[in-house]
């Protein structure tokens, strides 16, 4: 059985009255605060970033996070295939809930990005995302990007590509609530190794710390909880004003 330590933080942007991010950690949905280091063996961890106007993004991210919380409970006998099926069910449920909310209030757009890691009993895991929240892994000192942003610049040129049309650059092409013909979640699988560190974060963190610096910070001796605070502070120091949510995970022996 693979054991791991996880810690997390979510905070409203420096010029935002309401945090439109949500944090999911083993069934609990949070909108504020720090979750300290805690040892775990399996479970679902994810960040959600609401997309809408007039504060409705908070409702979209809450509905999406609650749907995942209610659908992604992990049991000891679950295989990675079962986890992937459960994630697809969570995506469908979240899609329906967010779309119903948008229809009720006559909103042109209500959606939520999501990125996360769902860990099985045997040390395998599913990485899932929709939108521009991100999953990173540090293994043997080397940083890797494990999720694919669903934006024009990422689709056309990958991380760091500058899309020439500013009117649509960085628009989100896939998210929970955008009704993309039933497709609202990208799912991939991986195997966890001792010493791996994972970072799951919303765009209030991602893009505000360059990859070389991010690799350096994740390779430090800081605990997961300390890294949550340090990464958050680094993003703010670099000018981030957006809502910021992150989860740091360290795989044990």
In this predicted model, what pLDDT tens digit does every residue of 12-31 receive, in sequence order? 999 888 999 999 998 999 99
How sure is the predictor about 84, in pLDDT bands with cuts at 50, 70 and 90?
very high
What are residue 199's DSSP bridge partners? 136, 248
pLDDT, tens digit, 9 for 90 and up, residues 170-225: 478 889 988 765 567 999 999 999 999 999 999 999 889 999 999 999 999 999 99
Q: Contact at 8 Å (CB) between 218 and 143?
A: yes
Max Cα separation, the chain? 51
The span from the CA of 92 to the CA of 178, in Å, is 12
The CATH number of domain 4-251 is 3.60.40.10 = yes
Residue 154 confidence (pLDDT): 63
In this prediction, residues 224-248 reach a mean pLDDT of 97
Res. 155: pLDDT tops 80 = no
Burial (CB count within 10 angstroms: exposed 0-12, middle 13-18, buried 19+), residue 54:
exposed
CA-wise closest residue to 98 among 15, 8, 203, 22: 22
62: pLDDT confidence band, cut at 50, 70 and 90?
very high
Distance CA 175, CA 45 (A): 17
Predicted local confidence at residue 253, as pLDDT: 75
- Rounded-to-integer distance, Cα 199 and Cα 235, Å: 14
Q: pLDDT at position 206, please? A: 87
User: For residues 131 and 149, is the Cβ–Cβ distance under 8 A?
Assistant: yes
- pLDDT at 122 exceeding the cut of 70: yes
CA distance 12 to 30: 12
pLDDT at 156: 57
* H-helix or E-strand spanning residue 86: helix 80-105
User: What is the pLDDT at residue 7?
Assistant: 98
């Amino acid at each position: 059985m693979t054991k791991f330590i996880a810690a997390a933080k979510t905070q409203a942007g420096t010029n935002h009255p309401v945090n439109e991010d949500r944090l999911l950690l083993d069934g609990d949905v949070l909108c504020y605060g720090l979750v300290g280091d805690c040892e775990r063996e399996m479970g679902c961890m994810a960040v959600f970033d609401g997309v809408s106007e007039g504060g409705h993004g908070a409702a979209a991210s809450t509905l999406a996070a609650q749907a995942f919380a209610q659908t992604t409970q992990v049991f000891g006998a679950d295989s990675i295939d079962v986890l992937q099926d459960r994630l697809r069910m969570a995506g469908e449920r979240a899609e329906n809930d967010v779309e119903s909310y948008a229809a009720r209030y006559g909103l042109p757009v209500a959606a939520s990005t999501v990125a996360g890691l769902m860990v099985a009993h045997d040390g395998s895991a599913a990485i899932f995302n929709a939108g521009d929240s991100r999953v990173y892994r540090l293994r043997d000192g080397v940083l890797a990007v494990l999720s694919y942003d669903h934006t024009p610049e990422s689709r056309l040129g990958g991380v760091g590509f500058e899309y020439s049309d500013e009117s649509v650059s960085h628009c989100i092409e896939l998210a929970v609530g955008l009704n993309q013909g039933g497709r609202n979640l990208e799912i991939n699988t991986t195997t966890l190794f001792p010493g791996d560190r994972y970072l799951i974060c919303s765009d209030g963190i991602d893009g505000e710390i360059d990859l070389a610096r991010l690799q350096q910070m994740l390779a430090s001796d800081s605990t997961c909880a300390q890294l949550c605070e340090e990464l958050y502070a680094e993003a703010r120091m670099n000018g981030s004003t957006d809502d910021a949510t992150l989860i740091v995970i360290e795989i044990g022996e």
